[in-house]
Chains A and B, each alone.
Chain A
């Protein structure tokens, strides 16, 4: 599907609000080479949000939205937390699930989509905070990986419960003191990427959202591998500037500091040989297509 399903009936063009007309005229739906460079020019990627000004979650959201291979055939599953404040503004189908249930809801959804549209690629992407993914929803997260459910799980890791004022989360660093966790964290940051690898994920990556081209590559790869091979997991550092006492403009530097060599968000990825072969095959086909079109 491209943009043909979102045509406004002729009679209503004059009364439709401008953002819908923009969506029809300028959205990236159906565009095969869409990507982070479309942020800033496509309505669906720059719509307003109600997060704190400068919150890196909003930037991560835009980069992810721009990187989905086919947004019109994607359903996102969210959970309670700051991320859920963005979903009402997003021009991609989405379901808000009960806090922690996101991977269970995504499982049912993905299976139902397979039955309903057997000949179509329908992508499901879970996007939830660290509290939802690692603490309250850990059972659902892990069980979906054990079962090999074919969808992508993205965790916005801000290392605490931001939406409820700064409580301790499993992904918080050891020793960290937050507004509502004054004693300081007593145990290490949970190593969810490693757990994901051991639990059956075909592709796992840890990154920040400071480099849009990296987010684009990783998100595309994660969604395509989930389509064909098995579950995929991305953990993206989206610091809560409000809770760590940073200004609106300081989120980017915070992410750069956290991804420096030896730091906890230094980029790392894990891919199974099967998933790697699939990615290599896709790249080879693309290259062959390019050569063929250049020769013609």
Chain B
């Protein structure tokens, strides 16, 4: 069966959950790009390409990476910073998931209950989720696909996300460093043109 293509939005008010359309999560060592299962390396390379070609690339670190609650979180934060510096990529935090009322400051943060506000306000065209708990990542990814044209990449510590446009699973700091490496290479190459 051909998987449902998880393309950039805006797809409308209630985009279907990709899992309901029959899409499955990648196995260990795999990722997906727009719903098609690919090798992990391919997904990582595509993530780097998307960052380099974006106008406003942005990383959204969630609580699991923002807060220094264990050794892995501290090392992942360092890797995220290296990627941000190498690619000139903005960082906007998602410090927690409270449905803050009346509204958030979209320049300073992103909230899973209305992530579209931050994306619209900053005109973000490519984003990466890292360190966001699964349920809230799924919620945000669907809202973003529903209402914005932003390309979403979920770098997940567990099994990945069908509702992202691209996913890499079992994230370790080394996998983020691999994106950084490719970003650096692509930037270097592009200068020759």
Interface centre among A6, A9, A12, A89 (most CB of B within 10 A): A9
Give min CB distance, A14 to chain B, whole Å: 9
In contact, B98 and A16 (Cβ under 8 angstroms): no
Does A120 make an interface contact (CB < 8 A)? Answer: no
- Chain B residues with CB below 8 A from A10, complex form: 68, 77
- B77:A9 contact, CB within 8 angstroms: yes
9 nearest interchain CB pairs? A9-B77, A11-B81, A7-B68, A9-B68, A88-B98, A17-B108, A11-B77, A50-B101, A20-B95
- 1/0 contact string of B78-116 vs chain A (CB within 8 Å): 101100000000011101001111100100110000000
| Given A12-B77, A17-B105, A20-B95, CB of A88 within 8 Å of CB of B100 | yes
Q: In the complex, what distance in Å separates the CA atom of A50 from the CA atom of B80?
A: 35
- Set B68, B80, B98: member contacting A8, Cβ < 8 A: B68
| A8 proximity list for chain B (CB < 8 A) | 66-68
Question: Cα distance A9–B73 when bound, in Å?
Answer: 8
CB distance from A72 to the nearest CB of B (A): 12
12 more CB-based (< 8 A) A-B contacts, given A6-B67, A12-B77, A15-B92: A7-B67, A8-B66, A9-B67, A9-B74, A9-B77, A11-B81, A16-B66, A17-B108, A17-B109, A20-B95, A88-B98, A89-B98
Contact across chains for B93 and A12 when beta carbons are under 8 A apart = yes
Query: Which residues from chain B contact A5 at a C-beta distance below 8 Å?
Result: 67, 69
Asked if B93 and A17 sit within 8 Å, CB to CB, the answer is: yes
Instruction: Tell me the minimal C-beta distance from B1 to chain A in angstroms.
Output: 38
| A7 contact set on B, CB distance < 8 A | 67-69
Find residues 66-117 in chain A having any chain B CB closer than 8 Å to their own CB.
85, 88-89
Mark B6-40 against chain A: 1 for CB-CB distance below 8 A, else 0.
00000000000000000000000000000000000
Contact A17 B95 (CB under 8 A): yes
State whether the Cβ of B61 lies closer than 8 Å to any Cβ in chain A.
yes
Interface assignment of B128: CB less than 8 Å from any CB of chain A = no
**Given A7-B68, A17-B109; A12-B102 close (CB under 8 Å):** no
The interface residues of chain A lying within 8 Å CB-to-CB of B91 are 12, 15
> Contacts of A9 on B, CB cut-off 8 Å?
65-68, 73-74, 77
B93 x A88 contact (CB < 8 A): no
CB closest chain-B residue, reference A87: B98
Q: Given that A5-B69, A8-B68, A12-B91 are contacting pairs, would A88 and B101 also be in contact in the complex, using a CB cutoff of 8 Å?
A: yes
Residues in B whose Cβ lies below 8 Å from that of A85: 101
Size category, B interface:
20 to 34
Chain A residues with CB under 8 Å of chain B are 5-12, 15-17, 20, 50, 85, 88-89
Is chain A's interface secondary structure helix, strand, loop, or mixed overall?
A: helix
Measured between beta carbons, the chain A residues less than 8 angstroms from B109 are: 17
8 contacts between A and B (CB under 8 A): A7-B69, A8-B66, A9-B68, A10-B68, A11-B77, A12-B91, A16-B93, A50-B102
Q: Which residue of B is nearest A5, CB measured?
A: B69
Q: Which residue of B lies closest to A6 (CB)?
A: B67
In the bound complex, what is the Cα–Cα distance between A6 and B63 (angstroms)? 10
- Smallest CB–CB gap between B75 and chain A, Å? 10
Q: What B residues does A17 contact at CB under 8 A?
A: 93, 95, 105, 108-109
Known A-B contacts A9-B77, A88-B98; A15 and B69 likewise in contact (beta carbons under 8 Å): no
CA gap between A10 and B73 in the complex, in Å: 11
With a cutoff of 8 Å between Cβ atoms, the chain A residues found around residue B66 in the complex are 8-9, 12, 16
- Kindly state the separation between the CA atoms of A8 and B77 in the bound complex, as whole angstroms: 10
B171 CB → nearest A CB, Å: 16
Q: How far is the CA of A6 from the CA of B100 in the complex (A)?
A: 19
Considering the complex, give the chain B residue whose CB is closest to the CB of A90.
B98
Residue of A nearest to B77 (CB): A9
Chain A nearest Cβ from B159, distance in angstroms: 23
In the bound complex, how far is the Cα of B169 from the Cα of A259, in angstroms? 60
Q: Are A12 and B100 also in contact (CB < 8 A) when A6-B67, A17-B95, A20-B95 are? A: no
Per-residue interface assignment for chain B, residues 37 to 81, with 1 indicating a CB less than 8 Å from any chain A CB and 0 otherwise: 000000000000000000000000100011111000110011011
Residues on A with C-beta less than 8 A from B98 are: 88-89
Question: What's the least CB distance linking B102 to chain A, in Å?
Answer: 7
Cα separation A8 to B66 with both chains bound (whole Å): 6
Take A7-B67, A17-B93 as given contacts and tell me if A12 and B99 are in contact as well, using a CB distance cutoff of 8 Å. no
* CB-CB nearest in chain B for A24: B67
